[in-house]
């Protein structure tokens, strides 16, 4: 894509109404635009990143047997009343129609997915089933000051699994946890798997996937020897205590952001809706369910919090809007245009800055936008039939002959 075709403009200064690095940089670089607190539009560059993260999540959910669906965001109030969530879930957005009827906006979708899936499950032979969707969620959050980390409308993957018994659920629970760690690894993050309370309805513990960052809103305690990690909110322990698991290490406190969460829902939703299947002995049973959330837009914000410097964003390659940023500062653009065309024909993802602006402005924008590899064409490099390659995260530059460029970039 030619940079001149982007309708978005970069800003020299951070916007005054943003407090966090992720929102400041994403707005400055033209990835997102704030409509109001906690609600953003995704602009061409930002949407590319959101789609890349979504694609990685999709691949890993498909790999563990998840079937992708798309459920509505506008829900009738009745199922929410049936499960008790209408009164108990404080973040639920409620709407009243001009007809007087009540509706809810989806903040999670157990109320919709349970009757939907169970309509198709008659016997144990129809189980297990796992379905997921990727889309908007709505929550009436009191404070939305953390940019993409806490939206009132945000992008989430939510998966729901249905099992004949607890044992089969436990088996799948472990598989999903591994898939989550794989997703995080693919986007360049390391997470701590943290024990937490099971949320509003459950006595059971859940697991949160926590990425350490000062921009996060969670406090966790983790052992410096074993993998023990717990959310401070529910912990019986405090920082400095001996690890209750291994007894060797000490507990450290850290600030983190919860990018994902997996829950054991037990039989709650099957019971609430009175939905059953016939087990092997021909007895009626409620399904055992799990739900698995992953904050895709929050992940995008966390990536910026983790990967930036004072000049801008530094995207991991797997989620960058483009793989290469081609910049021309030579007087005559003919050679750079040719290079762009040849990289396009090799199907490399290139953003090409051929704008009539100063070299300084081009470098500043390139650092701000944060594409992992910069390719510079200047009168100086052209004297050697070369371009200069530089990684966004380093300072080392390398001259590459134009005739070898596509091959080099591919390797």
Q: Nearest approach, Cβ of 118 to ligand ATP (angstroms)?
A: 22
Instruction: Provide the β-strand partners of residue 292.
Output: 159, 262
List of residues 6+ apart from 79 with CB closer than 8 A: 111, 112, 115, 273
| Tokens of residue 376, six digits | 């510079």
Between 153 and 353, name the residue whose CB sits nearer to ligand ATP.
153
Give, rounded to a whole angstrom, the gap between the first and last alpha carbons of the chain. Answer: 22
In this structure, the number of other CB atoms found within 10 A of the CB of residue 407 comes to: 11
- Alpha helices, DSSP H, located in 248-378: 268-273, 296-306, 334-345, 359-369
Closer CB to ligand ATP, 85 or 223, in the complex: 85
Q: Which residues would be at the binding site for ligand ATP (CB under 6 A)?
A: 108, 139, 141, 150-151, 154, 156, 258-261, 293-295, 297-298
Would you say 20 or 261 has its CB closer to ligand ATP? 261
Burial of 186 (0-12, 13-18, 19+ CB in 10 A): middle
The answer to whether residues 117 and 129 touch, using CB atoms and an 8 Å cutoff, is yes
- Closest CB 155 distance from ligand ATP, rounded Å: 8
Comparing CB distances to ligand ATP, the nearer of 213 and 261 is 261
Cβ distance 291 to 263 under 8 Å? Answer: yes
Nearer to ligand ATP among residue 184 and residue 294 (C-beta): 294
Cβ 177 vs Cβ 169: under 8 Å: no
Q: How far is the CB of 204 from ligand ATP (least distance, A)?
A: 14
Q: Which is nearer to ligand ATP, 48 or 191 (CB)?
A: 191
Which among 17, 21, 19, 47 is positioned nearest to 296, based on CA atoms? Answer: 47
In angstroms, give the least distance from the CB of 354 to ligand ATP.
37
What would the DSSP string read from start to end of 245-268?
TTSSSBEEEEEEEEEEEEEEEETH
Min dist CB 177 to ligand ATP, Å, is: 13
CB of 308 to ligand ATP, least distance (A): 19
Least Å distance between CB 206 and ligand ATP? 8
d(CA 52, CA 227): 30
Pick between residue 154 and residue 322 the one whose CB is nearest to ligand ATP. Answer: 154
Closer residue to ligand ATP, CB minimum distance, 129 or 220:
220
Q: Using alpha carbons only, give the angle 362, 365, 368 rounded to the nearest 5 degrees.
A: 150
DSSP-derived secondary structure for 228-247: -EEEGGG-S--TTSBPTTTS
- Nearer Cβ to ligand ATP, position 259 or 373? 259
Neighbours of 67 (CB within 10 A): 13
Shortest separation between residue 203's beta carbon and ligand ATP, angstroms: 16
Shortest distance (Å) from residue 133 CB to ligand ATP: 13
């Amino acid at each position: 894509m030619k940079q001149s075709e982007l309708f978005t403009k970069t800003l020299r200064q951070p916007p005054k109404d943003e407090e966090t690095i992720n929102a400041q940089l994403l707005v400055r670089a033209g990835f997102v635009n704030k409509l109001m607190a906690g609600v953003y539009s995704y602009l061409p560059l930002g949407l590319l990143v959101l789609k890349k993260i979504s694609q990685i999540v999709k691949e890993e959910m498909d790999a563990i047997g998840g079937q992708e669906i798309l459920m509505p965001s506008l829900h009738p109030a009745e199922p929410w009343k049936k499960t008790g969530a209408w009164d108990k879930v404080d973040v639920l957005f409620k709407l009243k129609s001009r007809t007087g009827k009540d509706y809810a906006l989806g903040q999670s979708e157990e109320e919709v997915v349970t009757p939907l899936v169970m309509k198709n499950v008659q016997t144990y032979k129809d189980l297990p089933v796992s379905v997921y969707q990727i889309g908007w969620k709505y929550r009436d959050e009191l404070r939305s000051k953390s940019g993409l980390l806490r939206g009132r409308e945000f992008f989430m993957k939510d998966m729901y699994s249905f099992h004949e018994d607890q044992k089969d659920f436990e088996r799948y629970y472990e598989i999903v946890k591994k898939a989550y760690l794989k997703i995080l690894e693919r986007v360049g993050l390391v997470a701590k798997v943290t024990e937490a309370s099971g949320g509003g309805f459950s006595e059971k513990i859940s697991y949160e996937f926590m990425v350490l960052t000062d921009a996060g809103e969670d406090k966790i305690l983790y052992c410096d020897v074993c993998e023990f990690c717990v959310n401070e909110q529910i912990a019986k322990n405090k920082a400095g205590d001996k690890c209750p698991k291994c007894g060797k290490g000490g507990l450290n406190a850290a600030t983190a952001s919860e990018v994902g969460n997996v829950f054991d829902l037990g039989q709650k939703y099957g019971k609430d809706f009175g939905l059953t299947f016939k087990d092997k002995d021909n007895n009626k049973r409620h399904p055992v369910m799990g739900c698995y959330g992953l904050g895709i837009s929050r992940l995008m914000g966390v990536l910026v919090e983790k990967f930036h410097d004072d000049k801008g964003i530094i995207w991991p390659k797997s989620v960058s809007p483009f793989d290469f940023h081609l910049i021309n500062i030579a007087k005559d653009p003919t050679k750079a245009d040719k290079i762009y065309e040849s990289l396009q024909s090799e199907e490399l993802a290139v953003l090409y800055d051929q704008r009539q602006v100063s070299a300084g402005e081009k470098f500043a924008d390139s650092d701000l936008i944060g594409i992992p590899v910069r390719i510079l064409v200047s009168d100086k490099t052209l004297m050697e039939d070369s371009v200069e390659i530089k990684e966004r995260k380093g300072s080392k530059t390398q001259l590459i002959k134009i005739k070898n460029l596509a091959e080099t970039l591919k390797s």
